[in-house]
Amino acid sequence: MAGNNVLSLLGWTFLPNLATGWVQSIYYGLTIRAGDPKPAPNSPRYVQHRRRIHILVVSLYLLYTIYEADYELRRASDYYAELGVSFSASERDIKSRFRRLAALHHPDKLMSAGGTSEDADFFIHLKTAADTLTDPARRFAYERFGPDVVSWKHCVTIRDFVTRGVQVLVPYYGLAAIAMYVLGLLGYLEWGRYWRWLTLIVLCVFELHTITRPTFPRFLGNLINPFLTHFTSHPPYLPFQVISLARKLSITLYIAFSQIGPLLQQQSVKPGEASEKALRQSLDRLEQTARSMDVDATRLMELEMAPFAGDPEVINSMRTKLKEWLVQNTIRADPMVKDALGKSFQKRRVDAPAGAKGNR
């Protein structure tokens, strides 16, 4: 299980980026005529195209993972489909159907006709399915927890199965919450943190509701399964299959938040807003620098006048002269003032006597 999750994460981080480069190359090959220059890497146009293509690739990969999870559920099948009975079949219907299948797949009959050990295993599987569905408590548990209930020991009543199922459920969501919290502290789940926690809580409540209700959830029994039965060839879902699909979908959503969320946030910021934000940040940094320089200048003035402490007249006189010196020095050091003075000196008369004023 852990290995599959690691491979899935590697697929999400590596395959979409690789596919984005391929799709972008194909896109430029189809939309740009031969001889025309392509957008340079890291240029605004190139980055915009790559962001949009990456969003498209990740979205398609998201849909594929959902299809893959559904395909795995259909390939695994369920006891009802293997016995060929409906979800509403009675105990009598299940036993009757099993007797017919036993007449076709009984090991004694198949061995005499050259059968293999796989045929005997299949018959044992059918026997397990029939025994599970003819026991009300085990049937209830199977519909909500899947074939794992066959190996649950010391469970006889529905209450026993539900208690055992909750004991499996709590560690799953507990570890998921701890993992999300730790990853959030490390800075890996900054975007969409609220929606991640909301998805986890909704999924946990949905699963608790599904495993404790005496009947199928309404949306499953009254909406999804009737639609699949009447309009598609897709087999109807059991509650444990919907729970498994929802868990897979939640993991896919978490990764999609990390992949698509920041890109959508960048796309929603207009260039004018981005430049205005950058200007505002620069002004804030300039204001902080000015304040720091003002504090440093005040501290230096206090150090310079420290020897004259206790003499107000000298301090006031020095403060006034220091201010005049700072102003004059600042003005003279200004490039525009220097340029004006230079032009003025160039216009002075070369043959003017000492002390003369004016220019040519």
Q: Which of 174, 242, 175, 235 is nearest to 213 (CA)?
A: 242
Q: Which of 227, 275, 243, 225 is nearest to 44 (CA)?
A: 275
Dihedral of the CA atoms 158, 161, 162, 164 (nearest 10)?
160
Q: Which residues of the chain have pLDDT under 70?
A: 1-16, 109-117, 264-279, 297, 301, 304-311, 314-315, 319, 322-360
For 164, phi then psi, to 5°, come to: -65, -40
pLDDT number for residue 6: 42
pLDDT number for residue 331: 60
CA distance 4 to 114: 39
> In sequence order, which residues have a C-beta less than 8 Å from that of residue 231 and are 6 or more positions away?
none
Quote the pTM value.
Answer: 0.64
Query: What do you get for the CA distance between the two ends of the chain, in Å?
Result: 94
pLDDT number for residue 10: 46
pLDDT number for residue 4: 47
pLDDT number for residue 9: 46
| Domain locations in the chain as residue ranges | 2-73, 88-239, 270-304, 313-360
* Integer CA distances (angstroms), 288 to 159, 276, 298, 299, 327, in order: 66, 18, 16, 17, 22
pLDDT number for residue 20: 81
